[in-house]
Amino acid sequence: MNPPASAVSTATDGTIVVHSYLRPGEERTLAEDVLDGLTKPFKELPPKHFYDTRGAELFDQICELPEYYPTRAERSILVLHAAQIAHATGAGEIVELGSGTAEKTRVLLSALAAAGTLRRYVPVDVTEAMVRRCADELTADFGGLHVHGIVGDFERHLSHVPRADDEPRIVAFLGGTIGNFTPGARRRFLRQVARLLRPGVDHLLLGTDLVKDPAVLEAAYDDAAGVTAEFNRNVLRVINRELGADFEPEAFEHVAFFDREREWIEMRLRASRRMHVSIPELGLEVDFAAREELRTEISAKFTPQRLRDDLAAAGLELTQILTDPAGQFALSLSTPTG
């Protein structure tokens, strides 16, 4: 598919192409999301705005924290089962949504390379620097690999994912990022993703964090070193920089708790005192009462049944569920029912 005129294409020796759909002027969603979110009766912001360059660095640090088990658990599943996933799918291409540094994806790319099927990797991420870096690193490390990077929003730009060729494709959505959608939006999103897949030929590889002891869950989102707290406050810094706002990030406390009824982690920022914030670019003045909370993210946790039901509602049939030895995290393969 052709990029719009404003997209940037970089072809080095033909193995890397990066198309950006987030050129200035197109990326108005921060302004709209902030206007919507901060004028709601219960203030909230969508999570994709955490990930500027600093946010991406902080997320990397989160993945190394002793409390943040999901990255290690998901990685261990890949290490144990990548060869079998390569065999079961015969995939020549991986399209990865929210690819980040693609650190874990390397395990899978290696398995496809060993099976002799690996041809193309299509990372999709809002953070341009990450897409470019992983394109450079992966083409250097995997001889003959083509990378077609997409700098874009996976909620709005899936139509720009290139057409699948003859070989089977895997669409990977790792890290439990699917949990950041509310239940209805999650099913709607999975339905969109299913449209990238051919029944019986292509597979969705989905990483989902599992319901477990609330203390373990809460620690994963409220680490002792305070990295997650910094990450959470980073969204205020993004709004200050991009929209000229005057949030005092340090005046907001990080709050993370497991909602036992809805079975999701909820992340909030709590105003430590009354505050008035101006957001000139939006012509918006916002008041916070002392202890008022702003919701910044949910991270839903799954049971196998919830996973099956969500996939089924999106027209996807589960073909395999793999978990790590401690049963903390699940990776599943599914294909459209056709």
Partner that binds at residue 153, options ligand TRP, ligand SAH, none, CB closer than 5 to 8 Å by kind: ligand SAH
Alpha-carbon distance of 56 to 61, in angstroms, equals 9
Structural contact between residues 82 and 108, judged by C-beta atoms closer than 8 angstroms: yes
**H-helix segments, the chain:** 29-38, 53-64, 69-89, 105-115, 128-141, 183-194, 214-220, 227-243, 304-313
**H-helix segments, 142-270:** 183-194, 214-220, 227-243
Helix (H), strand (E) at residue 276: strand 275-279
Is residue 193 involved in binding ligand TRP (CB under 6 A)? no
Q: How far is the CB of 183 from ligand TRP (least distance, A)?
A: 15
Contacts to ligand TRP from residues 58-97, by CB under 6 A: 62, 70
What residues contact 45, with CB distance under 8 A and at least 6 apart? 33, 34, 37, 38, 235, 294, 295, 296
Among the listed residues 68, 121, 142, 154, the single contact to ligand SAH using CB under 6 A:
154
Q: How far is the CB of 115 from ligand SAH (least distance, A)?
A: 22
Partner that binds at residue 232, options ligand SAH, ligand TRP, none, CB closer than 5 to 8 Å by kind: ligand TRP
Nearest to 217 by CA among 228, 233, 206: 228
Give the CA distances from residue 319 to residues 198, 295, 310, 331, in Å, rounded to whole numbers and listed in that order. Answer: 14, 35, 14, 11
| DSSP state at residue 2 | P
Q: Per-residue x/- mask for ligand SAH, residues 103 to 142, rule CB under 6 A? A: -x-------------------xxxx--x------------
Partner that binds at residue 332, options ligand SAH, ligand TRP, none, CB closer than 5 to 8 Å by kind: none
**Segment contacting ligand TRP by CB under 6 A, of 32-40, 140-148, 152-160, 176-184:** 176-184
Number of chain positions touching ligand TRP (CB under 6 A): 16
Q: How far is the CB of 50 from ligand TRP (least distance, A)?
A: 6
Is residue 176 involved in binding ligand TRP (CB under 6 A)? yes
Q: Point out which residues bind ligand TRP (CB under 6 A).
A: 47, 50, 62, 70, 175-177, 179-180, 221, 228, 231-232, 267, 297, 299
